[in-house]
Structure 1
């Protein structure tokens, strides 16, 4: 027995402890978003991963980042398990559990792959470079990978959204170069902290006050603190600018939160409640003097041609107040998830959802998975996405439309703002998940409002509906699982932030600088 204990202790040190540290730090990063919303942890939770990836004695190069990514994305996206139970759709209990777990595991591993890719690239490209060059490379790689990640079908848990909706000051960096400016700030501060710790570990316990490594560690720690403060000062400068709100730009908008649970939404009871609730809500808001009324995604869960025969359509014809109505639009033999502008004169415009939810709205690898999850589709026809270059004109000027999942893709809203969108209309369902999902969705829309310098009006089925100003302040937010009506005055804006004009210019710049500094280091080592 005495000979076994040292071997187990050594194994514990080399394998168990690093893995546990990676898991715990990943979980801490996951706690930055709803429901815990401990956003401040994001500024330290990445540092342990950085240390473990770069520490000379560390050999678990793939396991460590994979575990960290599982901890972060697994906790942050745990709300996806709320798709269970699906017995109301005819899916058996065990199959419902299987589908929920499959979705959770798939999106968690997808995020963990990004972290692992970053770690591998960091290990390869940061060899033989100085500390600050390594930090630059680490930031550039993370931003570059997140940028590529945003081009795919699964994109939600960017590091940037760990700060929303609470740290509005740092979120204003998004006006400079989008959400990846916030991501880069988080990675840079964590990187400097990690480098300080690595230098500290190599300083020697007996030479803390004298050794060069110890002094370098203190300088790096101070640099991380100064960078944290400097970034927040830049954000505060943008945050503190007053909003110019001329009376002629005012627009009084009404919101209807219909509160039709998914369990009844597609059945006769749900259809009756939807038609009655949205019709009565529209009439009430119209009588309050609103200029327009926004309804949630799929407020009328059937084809638009059928919606034209509902009492809601008749009420709009009678009152003449514009309504933005969520329904399904026909497109050949397929259908779209759409938002329609309806005026007293009839249909004015239409916007089709661009980013569809994998599995929920379309089936990836349909030939393989189609038979397993076909019941998730609300209609027998196939749902198709809208064109990415759509614009959404209204009687009050061009709007920026975001239907549910699209809120997570900054470029979708940036393009519309660049094309003249003056305010954001966000329509979502958000039903059938636990409360952290709608809270995270609200956080996404808060970021989009800041980045584009636009007012955002959010209408959801079961919560949280809300009003967000261009500085990200939530002026009103609804409750969960309640029928609510609200009217608020917003202001149309034509300003264009640096991000709206130029897009994410920072990531290519960082990648370019990283390449230059890496080549310079290689040349210096060859002399």
Structure 2
């Protein structure tokens, strides 16, 4: 039980790295206890090389990883329980609590299983291959973790990558994502943890009497950590080149329409009044275009045209808008962002591609659909947008994310490779605890840095913001407030290594790990 308590607590420490605590520095040591407990065997005699503890049963190693993972993902994602109570939607109080707890446990367990699989993979590799040097174990650990995160990100249950533990405060490390995406940061974190763990294991196994040797060994991860920050410092300090020709003055409206009323007549009335008022205020400030949150007006486009004072304000003021609303697609509907010209014409449309699991659709519906439907009367179905969409505007091509899509870096990279010159994100964020919008802002900061783009973000209840390509938050709104804001962003056409080549680092790490294992195997034969 002591082992499980240790790894659970270390996982919890990793869970303190994102909002609301922002203890990002803990990430650089929080995996160490798990790594040591998987490897170190105090009964094993001294040898010229270290080996995994083969006496530990496979089941125990998996459970150790699972406990660490649930400590991390469970705490980091605890904001999911903020959906309770849903009595305003007609869900009974107890059923609402059951839904909230189910969603939290299910999604946190999804991430925890990844760590369990990583533990199993490390155990299997080290029982299959007799490793002759410690550095190979670290390389394998990094490559395997990155490979698993890559697979995990291909699905929809994705949020708590190790990389986001550094956002938005450790801007130097965030700039490593310009090299090969967010997994560059994940690889760095796992590598530092692995080196520290391996050095501790070596010291425990060999018990050297020389303080000089101990300090020399400990200097290795410290030097690497400083080098990584130095690389980030160099990237961070590259000058921004902004010209008046590339400037866009963007107005942002944060409507602050609580979900409790948003889809009911009172909410419809408040939305139309609030967004019309905000539009007129910002139009009078001579902004170039106005950005609204996800489903700011929860109507279909045709209904907005026919019956909306907001649409009439566009015709009067002649200022374009990015409007969050529902779009029709056959007999289904989409969560969309529309570009509306000053003449009231629909210029372009982006349909949300990645839907919220258990909110906008039910994952593994064949298995879980019956459970969810018994607990809740909600209809959790929307139609996905096509993954290859582009979003042209009167001010150039934009990179777009609607709400949950902010966690998916590949969505933003793809649009950047296709000529996206700035980022706009449109989100709701009203139905969770305050931690969620703070973590959401951290995700958008990462997307701005790795693509080297300015970002404007509008949310329903907070935090709306302006982020520059350095990841600096130039303005951020309050929480649960009605606000309007005008600011300038700039179009950029630069392409980082990540935008050009994608996540080449993970592929390289996997190939290096396989090649090193083959060489190691020949040496030991």
Q: Answer whether TM exceeds 0.5 for this pair.
A: yes
Would you say 1:168 and 2:171 are equivalent positions?
Answer: yes
Which of 333, 336, 359 is 2:334 aligned to? 336
In structure 2, what is the equivalent of residue 9 of structure 1? none
Determine if contact 1:259/1:482 at 8 Å carries over to the other structure: yes
Aligned residue for 1:64, secondary structure, equals: helix
Q: How many angstroms does 1:277 deviate by?
A: 0.4
Q: Which runs of 5+ in 2 are unaligned?
A: 43-52
Q: How many angstroms does 1:218 deviate by?
A: 4.2
- In structure 2, C-alpha distance between the alignment counterparts of 1:62 and 1:208, rounded to whole Å: 35
In structure 2, what is the equivalent of residue 358 of structure 1? 357
Q: Relative to 1, partners in 2 of residues 1:52 and 1:393: Cα closer, same or farther, differing over 3 Å?
A: same
In structure 2, what is the equivalent of residue 193 of structure 1? 196
1:377-392 matched pairs, under 5 angstroms:
382-392=381-391
- In structure 2, C-alpha distance between the alignment counterparts of 1:90 and 1:275, rounded to whole Å: 24
Determine if contact 2:255/2:296 at 8 Å carries over to the other structure: yes
- In structure 2, C-alpha distance between the alignment counterparts of 1:188 and 1:160, rounded to whole Å: 13
TM-score by length of 2: 0.94
- In structure 1, C-alpha distance between the alignment counterparts of 2:367 and 2:65, rounded to whole Å: 30
Deviations 1:340-393 (A, max 9, x none): 000123100000001000110012233444355459999869411111110100
Single out whichever of 48-57 and 298-307 deviates more from structure 2.
48-57
Determine if contact 2:91/2:376 at 8 Å carries over to the other structure: no
Which of 316, 319, 328 is 1:318 aligned to? 316
Which of 288, 293, 303 is 1:291 aligned to? 288
Determine if contact 1:361/1:377 at 8 Å carries over to the other structure: no
In structure 2, what is the equivalent of residue 396 of structure 1? 395
Which of 8, 20, 43 is 2:5 aligned to? 20
- In structure 2, C-alpha distance between the alignment counterparts of 1:399 and 1:377, rounded to whole Å: 37
- In structure 1, C-alpha distance between the alignment counterparts of 2:473 and 2:2, rounded to whole Å: 42
- In structure 2, C-alpha distance between the alignment counterparts of 1:356 and 1:39, rounded to whole Å: 28
Q: Relative to 1, partners in 2 of residues 1:368 and 1:63: Cα closer, same or farther, differing over 3 Å?
A: closer
Which of 267, 270, 274 is 2:267 aligned to? 270
Single out whichever of 54-63 and 244-253 deviates more from structure 2.
54-63
Aligned residue for 2:151, secondary structure, equals: helix
Which of 6, 11, 16 is 1:31 aligned to? 16
Q: How many angstroms does 1:299 deviate by?
A: 0.3
In structure 2, what is the equivalent of residue 12 of structure 1? none
Aligned residue for 1:34, secondary structure, equals: coil
Q: How many equivalent pairs are there?
A: 505
1:30-429 matched pairs, under 5 angstroms:
30-56=15-41, 59=56, 60-126=60-126, 127-129=129-131, 130-204=133-207, 207-209=208-210, 215=213, 218-309=215-306, 310-345=308-343, 346-374=345-373, 382-429=381-428
Deviations 1:180-229 (A, max 9, x none): 0000000001100000110111123xx4228xxx93x5444211000000
Runs of 4+ off more than 4 Å = 374-381
- In structure 2, C-alpha distance between the alignment counterparts of 1:387 and 1:378, rounded to whole Å: 28
- In structure 2, C-alpha distance between the alignment counterparts of 1:234 and 1:249, rounded to whole Å: 28
Q: How many angstroms does 1:56 deviate by?
A: 2.9
Aligned residue for 2:68, secondary structure, equals: helix
Determine if contact 1:195/1:220 at 8 Å carries over to the other structure: no
Deviations 1:54-110 (A, max 9, x none): 223662211111100010000000000001000000000000000000000001110
Structure 1 vs Structure 2 CA RMSD: 1.6
Aligned residue for 1:232, secondary structure, equals: helix
Determine if contact 1:333/1:381 at 8 Å carries over to the other structure: no
Determine if contact 1:249/1:491 at 8 Å carries over to the other structure: yes
Determine if contact 1:336/1:385 at 8 Å carries over to the other structure: yes
Determine if contact 2:181/2:450 at 8 Å carries over to the other structure: yes
Aligned residue for 2:322, secondary structure, equals: strand
Q: How many angstroms does 1:493 deviate by?
A: 0.5
Q: Relative to 1, partners in 2 of residues 1:439 and 1:489: Cα closer, same or farther, differing over 3 Å?
A: same
Aligned residue for 2:206, secondary structure, equals: coil
TM-score by length of 1: 0.93
- In structure 2, C-alpha distance between the alignment counterparts of 1:153 and 1:327, rounded to whole Å: 22
